[in-house]
A and B are shown apart, each in its own frame.
Chain A
């Protein structure tokens, strides 16, 4: 299995809703990532989990809350979002590399969740 699966593919939520995005991989990768991508822009890193521990939070607002229940799953919990948070949310995984396992050998991306906040 060489895929990263994201659900749902599309999500529309109100500003007072609570929802979750899910990501699953079965490639044995031990690093997982959340990226946010606005139209016609490159992906922007939000969070990095390495060996199930949060290693990078790129100053993301607290209305986004990541969770890594095990080495195959990554969730992104959403609460009280703003319309400007509407975007494509991409999950990726990689095999840690480098001298201390803190580099990546290339990401495998999911197809993303298209989020619209109304």
Chain B
């Protein structure tokens, strides 16, 4: 069975500082990996995805993530955080079978200090 762990429940960074959100997954083969962002009261928005190939993937809003098979990790990074980045971030793993079912981590709440 696939699963995702986001070790950090809550992270606070200062505006302009760099950011790294951690994600570890469990899956028997190479998974599809995703990061989503959710602002309060809104749906989720896809930030980026990894299927295969280059292990460093670029996404929207200046985010990037690196797939590390040896560590079963897919950490999200941003070099300089903006106040508008404050939100809930979800890592998800999607099976290559099973009708496109994605399993989400519990999420990390990002607070940005001025």
Contacts and interface: CB of A to CB of B under 8 A. Distances in A.
Interface of A: 4, 6, 31, 33, 40-43, 45, 48, 50, 55-56, 90, 92, 94, 96-100, 102-112, 114
A31 B46 CA distance: 16
Instruction: Report the contact-size class of chain B (Cβ under 8 Å from the partner).
Output: 20 to 34
Contacts of A104: 32, 94, 100-102
A96 B96 CA distance: 10
Contacts of B96: 98-99, 102-103
Contact of A102 (B41, B98, B106): B98
Contact of B99 (A48, A106, A111): A48
Chain B interface, >50% SS class: mixed
A51 to B, nearest CB: 10
Given A56-B99, A108-B46, A110-B43, A103 B94 contact: yes
A103 B2 CA distance: 13
Interface string B45-69: 1100101000000000000000000
A114 B40 CA distance: 12
A56 B96 CA distance: 15
